[in-house]
Structure 1
Amino acid sequence: MFLKKKMKKSTKDYSEQINDIVKKLEKADAVLIGIGAGLSASAGLTYYGERFDNYFSDFKEKYGIEDMYSGGFYPFATKEEYWAWWSRHIFINRYEAPVGQPYIDLLDIVKHKDYFILSTNVDHQVQKAGFDKKRLFYTQGDYGLMQCSVPCHYTNYDNKDLIYQMVESEKEMKIPSNLIPTCPRCGAPMTNNLRIDNRFVEDEGWHKAQKRYSEFLEENSKKAIIYLELGVGMNTPGIIKYPFMQMTYANPKATFITLNQETFKYPDELSKQLIQLDGDIGKNLQAIRQRIESKSISN
C-alpha cells in the first residue's frame, strides 16, 4: 500500500509545522529516533565538495576518486594504500570531527522523554553528543572498530591507537607495512567493522543493543509514540524509513515526523499521522529546540 498512493505536501506554514511537532513531542509517551546520513551532513560531515578536496586532493589527483563514499570502495592495489585511505577517512570523520550542533540540539529536544535511537551512521556523533549508550542501536557498524575480514570469530577491536599511528606515519598515500593489521587469531587481514557484505561482524555489544531496541518497540509500539526520522534517504530504506511508516500505519496513536533536506512523497494513508519538514535539518532542529525552550520560559 505504501507505493500506490501519494500524499500531497502540507499547506501549513513553517511556524505551524514547528508548533505541531512541539505539541506532539509534549504529548508523546515515547520517541523512536531514526538517524541517517543527512543528519551528519547537516552537522558538517559532508563526504564531497570542499571538505573532500581539503582532505583528499592527493587521492583525487592520483586515483580519480571524487568523494569519500566512493573512495571507500576503490580497489587499491596494496594494503598500504588501502589503509592510508581508510586511516585518514576514519581519523577525520570519527576522531577529529567535533560533535555537530544538530546532535546537541536533538539531545536537548528528547532528553526528558523515553527515547531510543536507531542509526545507520558509523561516525560516533550520537555518542559524542552525550546520548545514553543503552538507548542506541547502530546497525551498520562503527568507524572506531575493526574485525577479522574472514571473519574467523565474532569480536570487534578498538582501532584508535592504530589509526593515529597510521595517520602520523603515512607517506605518499601509503602506510608502513608493519602497521597493516592482521587478525590475532587466524592471521588474515583485518578490515573495518562496516556492513558492506555478509562478513559484517555482529558482536556481543551489537546483539545487546538489538535486544534493547526490540524491547523498546515491544513496550511502546501501541502507545502515543513518535517515529522521528532525521536525514534518512533511500540507500537503505528497509532499516528505518519503511519500518517507521509501517509501524505508524499500524498504530492510530503514532505520529511519523520526518526531517530531511529533500522532500519525499508519502502515501495518503499516512497523511493524518505525518509531519514532513524539509530543508536544512540542523536549522529545523534548532527551531524545534528554541520553540520548546520559549514555551518552557513562558510557562
Structure 2
Amino acid sequence: MKFLKKLVKKLRKEDNQTMTESTAQLAHNWIKDADAILVTASNGLSISEGLNLFTNDKKLKEVLGVLVDKYPIQNLLSAFSFPYKNKLDHWRAIARIVEYYGNNYETSNYMSDIKDLIDNKPYFIWTSNVDHHFSLAGFKNVFEIEGNWFEGVCSEHPEKHGIFQLGNKLHEIYQKDQTGALTEADIPTCDKCGSELDLNMAGDNFQVNQKQVTKLQNFLETNENKKLVVLELGIGPRNQMIKMPTMQLVAADPNAHYITINQGQLMIPNEIADRSIGFDSSLASTFKEILSGKSFGAKTQAPKKKEAPKQLSPEEAQEQEKALQKFYPNYMVDQGFRMGTFPMYMTIDQDHPSYLHTTQYGQGLMYDMGDAAIVHCFTQEGQYYKVRLGLDKSKDEVHSFYVDPGTFIAIEDADDTGAGFSLINTEIPTNGNGAVLVPKYDTLLRLFPEQREIIERLTVKQ
C-alpha cells in the first residue's frame, strides 16, 4: 500500500512538472513567434526593483530623513500629498524621493530581461508606474498613464500652460536642501503665470501626455489582427485602468495572446482563458522560464478551454436566490459585457443589511446614492475596521474602497439622510464559482469579543 501511495505521488509530481514545463515552453514560443509585444506594468514591477510606495519600512527614513520624525508620514505615496507645515518641506520630500529612486536609478536586471524578451520586435510599454524607470532604462515607446514625477503642471492653469520638465530643477532642490541653502525662491513655478507647479501625477491637475497616447494608438492599429502578445507585469486585480482594456483587446483579437505575472493574485477571465498563461511567481523566476522555455518551479496556469456557465434548475435557482438575499439584499447583476466581471448593484436598508460574508476574491465597493453605508470589515489577521461609503468628507466618508480577499464584511444603511436606503455597487468575476463564505458565529465572537454587538446583529447563525 505504501509503495502504491509513493508511486501515485511520484506520478502526480511528474505530471505537474510536465505541465509546468510545457507552459513555460508555450509562453516562450508565444513571445518568440509574436509580431509585436505590448508590455503592461504596475506596482509589482516597481516593488521587485526595490521601490514600494505603500510600505512603512527602514527605507522611508533613509529616503526622507528627518521629515519622517517631523511628520507622521506613513509611506512614500502619502509623502507626495501630505499637508506639510510649509511648502519647502513639501518640495524637500519630493526632491529626496526623486533623487533616490530617479536620478540615482540604475537599470535593473528586470529591465534587462524585458529587453531580452522583446528582442528586436515592435513593442510598446503601458504603465501606471510614476517612477519613469522604463524611460530611464532606455525604452523609447512608453505611455505613462498616471504621469511621472519628473514632470510638473501649473497649479492654476494646468490645461492651458502645458507640461514642464522638472528633472533638473528637482536635482537642484535636492542639492540645496543638503547644504541648507534651500529657500522659497527655489520652489518650481509656472514660467507663464508664476503660479506654483504641481507634479504631473494622478490628481485634479493631471495632464495626460497626448503624444504618448497617439503613439500607443498607432502601435495598436498597426498590429491589429497580427500576433500580438500582451505581457502583463505585476498588475493586481484592482488596477482596472490597464488590466481591463488590455484583456478586452485580447478578447477582440483572435490572434492575440495574454501572459500575466502576478505573485499571489492571478485573474484570467473565461473569455480569454484559451489564449492566456498565468505565472503565480516572482518576476525574476518567471522571466527565467519564459526566456529559456524551461521550468524552474514557477506556479503556472496553463491555457484552458472556455467553460460554459452551469445551468441551474428552476428549483436550484430559487434556493440560491433565497440564500443570497441574506448577503446581497435586493441585488441586480448587469449582464452587459464587461471583460472578466459582472457589475452588481445592491440596495440595503434598515431591515435588510448585507450579513457577514466573504467571497473567494477581493472586490471594490462603491457608493451610488441614498444614505451612507457602513461597511464592517474583519480581516484574516484578526483586525476589525469599518468604512463609511458616501460623499460627505466631513464624516470621513469615502466614495469607494477595495476589500482584500478573505475579509469578512457586513454592510448596513447609516440611515443619515432620510432616503431610507443605500445603493452600493461592486463587481463579481465571470470566472468565479460564486461561492459565498460565511464565518462561524462562535469563532468570530472569540476572535473579536469587542465587536460582539455587530457580530450578534449581522451574522447568520449556522
1:247 equivalent in alignment to 2:249: yes
> Cα distance, 1:236 vs. partner?
3.5
Unaligned 5+ residue runs, structure 1?
Answer: 1-10, 293-299
The 1:171/1:29 distance shift into structure 2, 3 A limit, reads closer
Aligned partner letter, 1:94: G
CA contact (8 A) 1:36 1:230 kept: yes
The 1:87/1:144 distance shift into structure 2, 3 A limit, reads same
3-state DSSP of counterpart to 1:157: strand
CA contact (8 A) 1:32 1:118 kept: yes
Aligned partner letter, 1:113: K
Choose which of 39, 61, 69 in structure 2 pairs with 1:53: 61
Output the TM-score relative to the length of structure 1: 0.84
Partner of 1:279: 281
Partner of 1:296: none
Cα RMSD after superposing both structures: 2.3
Output the TM-score relative to the length of structure 2: 0.56
3-state DSSP of counterpart to 2:240: coil
Unaligned 5+ residue runs, structure 2?
Answer: 1-15, 295-462
Q: Give % identity.
A: 27
The whole-number CA distance in structure 1 between the counterparts of 2:180 and 2:213 is 38
Choose which of 176, 193, 207 in structure 2 pairs with 1:201: 207
- Work out the number of aligned pairs and report it: 275
Alignment of 1:248-267 (within 5 A): 248-267=250-269
The 1:171/1:219 distance shift into structure 2, 3 A limit, reads closer
1:217 equivalent in alignment to 2:220: yes
Indicate the larger mover: 120-129 or 283-292.
283-292
> Cα distance, 1:136 vs. partner?
1.8
1:143 equivalent in alignment to 2:145: no
The whole-number CA distance in structure 2 between the counterparts of 1:179 and 1:236 is 36
The whole-number CA distance in structure 2 between the counterparts of 1:286 and 1:92 is 28
The whole-number CA distance in structure 1 between the counterparts of 2:156 and 2:119 is 40
CA deviation map 1:9-28 (0-9, x unaligned): xx775433321110111222
> Cα distance, 1:138 vs. partner?
1.7
Partner of 1:70: 78
Q: Which has the larger radius of gyration?
A: 2
Greater helix share, structure number? 1
Alignment of 1:217-236 (within 5 A): 217-236=220-239
Indicate the larger mover: 266-275 or 56-65.
56-65
CA contact (8 A) 1:255 1:273 kept: yes
The whole-number CA distance in structure 2 between the counterparts of 1:169 and 1:76 is 19
Choose which of 17, 38, 41 in structure 1 pairs with 2:44: 38
Aligned partner letter, 1:284: T
Partner of 1:176: 183
3-state DSSP of counterpart to 2:277: strand
Partner of 1:3: none
> Cα distance, 1:177 vs. partner?
1.4
The 1:175/1:264 distance shift into structure 2, 3 A limit, reads farther
The 1:114/1:255 distance shift into structure 2, 3 A limit, reads same
1:161 equivalent in alignment to 2:168: yes
Greater strand share, structure number? 2
Indicate the larger mover: 76-85 or 59-68.
59-68
The whole-number CA distance in structure 1 between the counterparts of 2:84 and 2:180 is 11
